[in-house]
């Protein structure tokens, strides 16, 4: 009887380890696939269904949520420094309902920079929390910031 219990527990532990290994490998493969998609502006634009992006012009794409206080800070700072972004494509993307995201951006005069993106596509091709900032130049990802970033750091990458 004890041998059966020990054998069952051992089998359960082996199966649990195999399951964790499988999940880890799957997650790493998904992360690599997402990172590959993010490497060029034209590819991320295509995957997200954003037709308004010009892959020949530098771009700053910001993934945000209106309830995130880090996002609120970044949006506020970009709004204050909007003139410094005039020569770049600026786009804001959110997984929130479009009306909520646009109303949030409207508070800062940035609703014109909202990029309408299907929520499922967005969460499939951008992993992780908000905010995230993607900076593209010559169609290539120049810098990817995860989390809050100062406007000066974004502008320095664009120089």
In this structure, are residues 116 and 99 in contact, taking their beta carbons and an 8 Å threshold? no
User: In the beta sheet, which residues pair with residue 64?
Assistant: 94
Angle between helix axes 41-48 and 2-37 (nearest 10 degrees) is 110
* Per-residue pLDDT at 11 exceeds 80: no
Please state, in angstroms and rounded to a whole number, the distance separating the CA atoms of residues 88 and 83: 10
Burial 58-76 (b: 16+ CB within 10 A, else e): bbbbbbbbbebeebbebbe
17-26 pLDDT, tens digit each: 777 776 666 6
Angle (CA) 70 71 74, round 5°: 90
> Which is nearest to 121 in space by CA: 45, 48, 59, 30?
48
Angle (CA) 81 109 124, round 5°: 90
Report the sign of the C-alpha dihedral through residues 34, 147, 77, 73, in that order. Answer: positive
Q: Which CATH superfamily is domain 38-158 in?
A: Glutaredoxin (3.40.30.10)
* Per-residue pLDDT at 109 exceeds 80: yes
Task: Give residue 36's pLDDT.
Answer: 58
pTM here? 0.79
* Per-residue pLDDT at 127 exceeds 60: yes
* Per-residue pLDDT at 131 exceeds 90: yes
pLDDT tier at 31, thresholds 50, 70, 90: low
Task: Give residue 13's pLDDT.
Answer: 77
């Amino acid at each position: 009887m004890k041998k059966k219990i020990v054998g069952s527990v051992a089998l359960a532990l082996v199966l649990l380890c195999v399951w964790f290994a499988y999940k880890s490998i799957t997650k790493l493969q998904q992360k690599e696939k997402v990172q590959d998609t993010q490497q060029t502006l034209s590819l991320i634009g295509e995957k997200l269904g954003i037709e308004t992006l010009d892959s020949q012009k530098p771009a700053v794409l910001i993934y945000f949520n209106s309830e995130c206080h880090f996002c609120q800070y970044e949006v506020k700072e970009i709004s204050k420094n909007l003139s410094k972004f005039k020569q770049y494509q600026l786009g804001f993307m959110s997984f929130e309902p479009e009306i909520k995201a646009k109303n949030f951006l409207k508070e800062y005069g940035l609703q014109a920079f909202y990029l309408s993106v299907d929520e499922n596509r967005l969460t499939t091709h951008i992993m992780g929390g908000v905010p995230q900032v993607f900076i593209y130049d010559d169609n290539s990802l120049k810098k990817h910031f995860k989390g809050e970033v100062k406007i000066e750091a974004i502008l320095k990458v664009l120089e």
